[in-house]
Amino acid sequence: MAKIRLNPLQARTLALFQELAADEEIAVRDEESGGIRIHALPRAHGDHMHVGRFSVSSRFASGLTNENVWRVLERKGLIHPDFPHSVLLLPEGLAFETGIRERMLAESDH
């Protein structure tokens, strides 16, 4: 199997989906696929948005509202999108190591 490559915007978006998948208030396990359905996406306020217990710069989160990014992640077998309403993060997407999570997410102070 070929290695999946993501550009920085795609990787950031997938990392955010992975973090959102851990939030039981907005995500639920999909028994059929083994993935996690994220049914509410955060909205930016000011220069940041809240993702779980973290704060993320809006510049890192632009892929959450970019249908083309969602389509690429779908073609690569990482998500099933229902843009812009919800996303099913597939097991492959959950397991994918983006390597950028720590650089994007900061503990929120509010």
CATH code of the domain covering residue 44 = 1.10.10
Nearest-angstrom CA–CA distance, 28 and 102: 24
Domain with 56 in it: 8-107
Contacts of 105 by beta carbon, 8 Å cutoff, 6+ apart: 19, 51, 54, 55, 56
- The model's pTM: 0.90
Q: Report the number of secondary-structure helices (H) and strands (E) in the chain.
A: 4, 7
Q: Is residue 2 part of a domain?
A: no
Q: Is residue 1 part of a domain?
A: no
Length of the chain: 110
Q: Is residue 40 part of a domain?
A: yes
State how many domains the chain has.
1
Q: Is residue 95 part of a domain?
A: yes
Of 22-26, 40-44, 46-50, 80-84, the one with minimum mean pLDDT is: 46-50
- Write the pLDDT tens digit of every residue in 14-25: 999 999 999 999
Q: Is residue 3 part of a domain?
A: no
SS3 call for 8: helix
**Average pLDDT score over residue span 97-108:** 73
Q: Is residue 84 part of a domain?
A: yes
Nearest-angstrom CA–CA distance, 75 and 62: 19
- Write the pLDDT tens digit of every residue in 5-16: 999 999 999 999
Q: Is residue 55 part of a domain?
A: yes
